[in-house]
Amino acid sequence: MVPHSQNVAYSDGGSQVLWKDGERAFHRGWRLDDDGKRRDVLIALPAADHPSRSSLDRLTHEYDLRDELDSAWAVRPLELVRDASRTMLVLEDAGGEPLERSLGAPMEIGPFLRLGIAISSALGKLHQRGLVHKDVKPANILLNEATGEVRLTGFGIASRFARERQSPHPPETIAGTLAYMAPEQTGRMNRSIDSRSDLYALGVTFYQCSPALCRLPPSTRWNGYTAISPSDRRCLRSGSAESLVSSRQLS
């Protein structure tokens, strides 16, 4: 069993870790509601035995955004549970696994396009709510292969849509994932963070899944913007994931 709140009990399925996303470990379990019915949930716990304050703050921040998120395109938080020993974030579980697990080989063109449309649509819905994710990557995209549904997670550093300037920090202290991060998020460019920062990370994610390109080694640094067609660059400059979706809709 895991920590419980005053009104709800949880089980984490014997504490088996299903996957880790950097500083978080995910378990599948169930939540016993007030009416005695079991409800499937995801449980996110700090991966470290002694998590940092910033790690715990990100769990709290994701929980605070719960009313801004929709279950149709996001893994929505249900409860933040604390006890003397640890903190956990309880999330809805609509099934699915992190896209990161599907990156062993390039996808066929059909599944790739359908996946790209689904992810772009989910990200567009997030932007319509006035939020920038700031950590879009395969580990934060849950794919239900049976239904084709996609949901975003990992909202621990998401921010409101107002343009934001990032101050410079050493690489080891920058919030987010450097391999997917837009240059302006590093604080080393005279540009603000907005929805286009997410589209940069989305482009890197698509590149990893692309059936037409061999992925570069993780240690290789490259400018993904130069690999995007001129028409798609216009969509990126507009800051709209929806326009990118419409330009790639399957007939």
Choose which CATH entry (3.60.15.10, 3.40.50.620, 3.30.200.20, 3.10.100.10) describes domain 9-92: 3.30.200.20
At residue 126, the 3 state secondary structure works out as helix
Return the CATH number of 97-246, one of 1.10.645.10, 1.10.10.10, 1.10.3720.10, 1.10.510.10: 1.10.510.10
pLDDT attached to residue 181: 82
Could you give the residue ranges of the DSSP H alpha helices within the chain?
53-64, 109-128, 195-209, 230-238, 241-246
Amino acid at 5: S
The predicted model scores a pTM of 0.76
What is the spatial distance between Cα 191 and Cα 184, in angstroms, rounded to a whole number? Answer: 6
Please, what are the averages of pLDDT over each run of 10 residues along the chain (251 residues)? 52 68 86 82 90 92 96 96 85 93 82 94 96 94 94 94 51 63 67 84 89 51 46 51 50 38
> What would the DSSP string read from start to end of 143-184?
EETTTTEEEE---TT-EESS-BPPPP--GGG-SS-GGG--GG
Q: Return the pLDDT at 160.
A: 86
Q: Mind spelling out the 3-state secondary structure of 94-111?
A: CCCEEHHHHCCCCCCHHH
Tokens 């550093």 appear where? 157
Q: 131-132 and 141-144: which strand pairing?
A: unpaired
Start-end of CATH 3.30.200.20 domains in the chain: 9-92
Question: Do residues 21 and 139 lie in contact, with contact meaning Cβ atoms separated by under 8 Å?
Answer: yes
Query: Shortest CA distance to 152 belongs to which of 62, 239, 80?
Result: 62
pLDDT at 105: 74
Within the chain, all domains assigned CATH 1.10.510.10 are found at 97-246
Bridge partners, 21 (sequence order): 24
pLDDT value at residue 73: 97
Closest-CA residue to 139 (of 213, 47, 56): 47
